[in-house]
Amino acid sequence: MHISGIKEAFEKDGYVVIGDFFDYAVMEHLDGLIRNYYGEDPDFWHNDEFLSKARTEVVPWFPQREGVSEFDAIENDECLQALTEAILGPEWNSQYCMVMYSKQGTAGQAWHQDCPPDDPTRHNLNRLVYTSDITDEIGGQTVVVPGSHKRGVLSFGDPVAEFDDQVVLRPKKGTLVLLHGHTWHRVLPITGSYRFSTNYRSAPKGTPDDITDICVYRNMRYRFSTSSVVEERTA
């Protein structure tokens, strides 16, 4: 698919999946770095209130902030940069690289939007890179609701209930998934040993740096910078 087709699909559905986007050897190297960093049983980073309310059990790592330069190879990939500019426009901003690790037996991530859709023009772009396969045996499949980036605020309700029009994604090693920050999405529970993906977040020119500080869940809005619930959603 050409860049124009990818952009069209992204604007329609709020996400797009591109298989075999990255070099296998690069994926192998980054996969090893991630596994070595986390070890067998990393501690949770979020507090108990977040873990219980959000039904989200992930351990984040920001490797570039710690000077791990190997992750720059993805950030600087010419094809990824060209694709990002086509979707976000010129002078788009790279935000940060975040690895998200989930342990066996954990809940994955409940339905959420990465930033509030109160202003439809303000959003982030998730550029999700998969250095290993996501399979049914492992769990942790990414689930999206196509077109939901145009539907406003994520509906109130059960944080993990299925939507009739949801789509389950099973990205393979080397896959790139582009995901609009307003798209309704979640990650299924982890039944295998572990699951991780790496998110190179970016945003259009003029987007506030803290655009992803408040995350919208079906039962609350949560501010990460203060580790606090800013809105209990009841309807």
Q: For 92-102, how does the pLDDT look when each residue is reduced to its tens digit (9 = 90+)?
A: 999 999 999 99
CB 74 within 8 A of CB 200: yes
Q: For 127-140, how does the pLDDT look when each residue is reduced to its tens digit (9 = 90+)?
A: 999 999 999 999 99
Superfamily of domain 3-232: q2cbj1_9rhob like domain (2.60.120.620)
- Rounded distance between C-alpha atoms, residue 232 and residue 219, angstroms: 6
- List the domain boundaries for the chain: 3-232
Q: Are strands 176-180 and 185-187 parallel, antiparallel or unpaired?
A: unpaired
Query: Model-level pTM?
Result: 0.93
- Write the DSSP assignment of 154-198 as a string of letters: PPSS-TTPPPTT-EEE-PPTT-EEEEETTS-EEE--B-SSEEEEE
**More confident position, 23 or 50:** 23
Task: Report CA-CA distances (Å) from 179 to 10, 25, 66, 105, 201.
Answer: 8, 24, 25, 26, 10
Q: Across the strands, what pairs with 96?
A: 201
- Rounded distance between C-alpha atoms, residue 184 and residue 21, angstroms: 24
Q: What is the pLDDT of residue 52?
A: 60
